[in-house]
Amino acid sequence: MLRFLVRRAAGYGVLATVATALGYVLASLTLHPAARYAGRTPPVPPSVVHAELAALGVDPGVPVPARLWHWLTELVTHGSLGLSVRGVPVTAEIAARAGTSLRLLLLGSLLGALLGVAVGTWGASRQYRWPDRVTTVGSFVLLATPPFVLAVVLMTLAVRLDSAAGRTLVPFTGEYTPGLAGGWPAQLGDRAAHLLLPTLCLALGTAATWSRYQRAAMLDVLAADHVRTARSMGHTRRSALWRHGVRVALIPMSTFFAYSFGLILTGAAITELAFSWHGMGEYLVRSVVDDDVNAAAGTVLFTAVLVLLAGVLADVLHAALDPRVRT
């Protein structure tokens, strides 16, 4: 099993490296850092523009492969991702934002996956009866609702709730209330309260996707002979479902997890923006607006690493659930 995982991880590593290089090239080709200096009063002399861009390593006069090589060697030798256009090291900025994004991503995707698997299993085990119909309609509506619309729906509900209660029960702007008194227990509680709506927003969207796939996988398994065999050998319906149904249905889901992770990341980025969190999603959008090549490339690297980790995790889950791949 270890050899299987190591081989897969090495493959992912190569892919992530190439993908990051591609991301850097794409950012270099589509973003125009020199445009930041255009139209300023007083006009910036071309020599200054040239010197500042060269200091960042984004001088358009240097061919893209040479810039990529410089960026990669800096990354490997110094662990540096360069400076952003605001002069802050990209690694420092990512370190400051990663926690924000990961908190939401971990909680939201975990909750969403559990909810999705539970709802999908429930629906499949009562196919075409009311639980199945209600969850199917619900998931279709949620799938058609982009995260930023869902965020506004949740915020509107929270405002209704707050005004009914006469005080703020569910705070939802930003990650915490600035200048809150009461020491760390109060601040921790405040952060948890701020997490509620964004997590729900991400989890609901994720659960909608997952429940559809889990329902389909579960229906395939329920029709399979081994579940009927388990029933005929005296297992109760519940035990046959759990021990021989859910476990088998989860095997394709572990592969699906690797594929859907990109979608979850996108959902998380949009959710962050909708709730004005200063996470990686905001960093990516700001880097594009600012024509900041280093920041954009750093975000792509961060994301590729996350996808890679998700891929390894999916393989581990797959190996844990399915003994056939462990050889």
Partner 1 sequence: MAVTDLTATSAPRSGAPGVLRRTFRAPRARVGVAVLALVVLAAVLGPVLSRWDPFTSDVTAFGRPPTALHWFGTDSSGRDLYVRTLVGLRTSLAVGLVAGPLSTLIAAVVGAVGGYLGGRVDRVVVWGIDLALVLPSFYLLVLLAPTAGRAGWFAVALAIALLGWMVMARLVRAQARSLRRRDFVTAARFLGVPTGAVLRRHVLPHLASLLVVDATLGVAATVLTEATLGWVGLGLGPPAVSLGTLLAAGSASAVTRPWLFWFPAGLLVVTVLATSLVGDALRDALDPTTGTAGE
Q: Which is nearer to partner 1, 156 or 236 (CB)?
A: 156
* Cβ 235 to partner 1 shortest distance, Å: 25
Q: Which is nearer to partner 1, 110 or 143 (CB)?
A: 143
When the beta carbons of 187 and 266 are compared against partner 1, the nearer one is: 266
**CA-based radius of gyration for the chain:** 24
The least CB distance from residue 308 to partner 1, in Å, is 7
User: d(Cα 212, Cα 210) in Å, to the nearest integer?
Assistant: 5
- Nearest approach, Cβ of residue 147 and partner 1 (Å): 8
Cβ-based nearer residue to partner 1, 202 or 308: 308
Q: What is the rounded distance in angstroms from the CA atom of residue 282 to the CA atom of residue 271?
A: 10
d(CA 203, CA 75): 34
Tell me how far, at minimum, the Cβ of 234 lies from partner 1, in Å: 28
Length of the chain: 327
Exposure string for 131-149, b = 16+ CB within 10 A, e = fewer: ebeebbebbeebeeeebee
Rounded least distance, CB 47 to partner 1, Å: 28
Q: How far is the CB of 199 from partner 1 (least distance, A)?
A: 20
- Asked if 269 and 281 touch (Cβ cutoff 8 Å), the reply is yes
CB closer to partner 1 out of 33 and 147: 147
How far is it, in rounded angstroms, from Cα 39 to Cα 169?
47
Cα 267 to Cα 12, 57, 300: the distances in Å are 23, 32, 16
Is the Cβ–Cβ distance between 25 and 71 less than 8 Å? no
Nearer to partner 1, 107 or 309 (CB): 309
Give whichever of 12 and 210 is closer to partner 1, judged by the CB atom: 12
> How far apart are CB 48 and partner 1 at their closest, in Å?
25
Residue in 119, 105, 271, 131 with CA at minimum distance from that of residue 210: 119
Sites of contact with partner 1 (CB under 8 A): 12, 15-16, 18-19, 22-23, 26-27, 30-31, 128, 140-141, 143-149, 152, 155-156, 159, 259, 262-263, 265-266, 269-270, 273-274, 284-285, 288-289, 296, 299-300, 303-304, 307-308, 311
